[in-house]
Amino acid sequence: MVRGLLNIAHALDHLFLLIFAAAVSTIAVDMGLAQWQDLMPYGAGAFFMFGLGSWPAGRLGDMWGRRSMMLMFFFGIGVASILTAFAQTPWQLAAGLTLVGLFASIYHPVGIPMLLERSANPGVTIGFNGLAGNLGVAVAALLTGFLIQWFGWRAAFVVPGVVAMGCGWLFARTCPQEQTTPAKRQGGAKVSLPGPLLARALVVMTAAAITSSVLFNFTTNGNGPLLAERFQGVMEDPAVLGLLLAVVYAVASLAQLVVGHLINRFALKPFFMFMVMAQIPMLILASQAQGWWLFVALTGVMVFIFGAIPFTDYMIARYVDDRLRSRVSGMRLGVSFGVSSLSVWALGPVVKAMGFGQSLLLLSGFSVVTCIILSGLPHASRENIQPS
């Protein structure tokens, strides 16, 4: 039950962060703004806090306890989402979304290390957890579209908020109290690397995470308006478009499950670089496609963006002592998501100035930069990444 709730929490984490993106066009009209692009910068605070809050959340997870932090996640994000539903102005909306981002920052540096504590196969565990998280992205598109159509955009924040608090109640009842905090346990990394090599791997991993997070944030926040624009004259029902986007994310989420099963079988560096290089032609194709061809290209884009996500969590799980894992994860997330939150702020103005076609070509440049960064990863044979 606890493992199931930790995976559900990952789904909820991503769901809450993308409610706004799925509902932005409707909210903009309700708040009297002419275009959705004008409202988009108000959502940047959520992603900035999602990154910035990861650092103290990771430290508290190691020093205070991961169970306590997960309870704070469930109840905090639920209350924050419900409060956001009462926003009447763009700045009130921004404040509510920023609070959502603060509590959302808890999950990755706390929930994933908690899930990995007794995992015999980190790759599979991370792959399945990634599948759950990105199904949350799919559900955000689907659920928000239907709730908007039936009950209005405010319900899209209230319903998940109630669900999160219900999950928190179940978690409190089923998750046993921690006897000692992670920082005080006996531990050790599954694979020992020399200090300089480990430092190099962590620096490269963090730099690559920044560029990868720009792609993730820009696409997951912009795909809804992109579909709406490129499907004009073909299909314009927001609920059906939400369903199409959910299908894209659901298919792409399976890539993380596949990567989780394969990550122990191949050398890490070339496998990671392949997943990133494959993004480039897909982004170029999506920049030019319309209608159903866009649907195909966008599915390809998201398959390789989602498929690249498990690698950094896998490296932390293999090379970092569990006693430090939440803090290292929090530091990495704090830097990568903090910087990449600028892509959410810039999404509206960039698309308004350049259009989606040029914006997607710009994103392909970020994939190129990520490949260059990954060339700095230390080489490791298959044997080097097995348990010691």
Select from 259, 364, 381 the least CA-distant residue to 309.
259
**CA atoms within 13 A of residue 159's CA, in its CB half-sphere:** 17
The proportion of the chain whose per-residue pLDDT surpasses 90, expressed as a percent, equals: 33
Segment 302-348, tens digit of pLDDT: 999 988 888 877 777 676 766 666 777 777 777 776 677 677 777 88
pLDDT at 209: 79
For each of the domains in the chain, give its residue range(s) and CATH number, in order of start.
2-175+192-380 (1.20.1250.20)
pLDDT at position 201 is 73
pLDDT tens digit sequence for 187-240: 554 555 556 776 777 788 788 878 888 888 888 888 888 988 888 876 767 778
No. of helices (H) and no. of strands (E), the chain: 16, 0
Angle, CA of 332, 334 and 335, to the nearest 5°: 70
Are 61 and 45 within 8 A, CB to CB?
A: no
The contacts of residue 122 (CB under 8 Å, 6+ apart) are 116, 190, 314, 317, 318
- The C-alpha atoms of residue 375 and residue 134 are separated, in whole angstroms, by 27
Alpha-carbon span 97 to 100, nearest angstrom: 5
Count of other CB atoms within 10 angstroms of residue 199: 11
CA distances to 172, 278, 309, 364 from 371, rounded to whole Å, are 43, 10, 14, 11
Cβ atoms 97, 221 nearer than 8 A: no
pTM of the predicted model as reported, rounded to 2 decimal places? 0.72
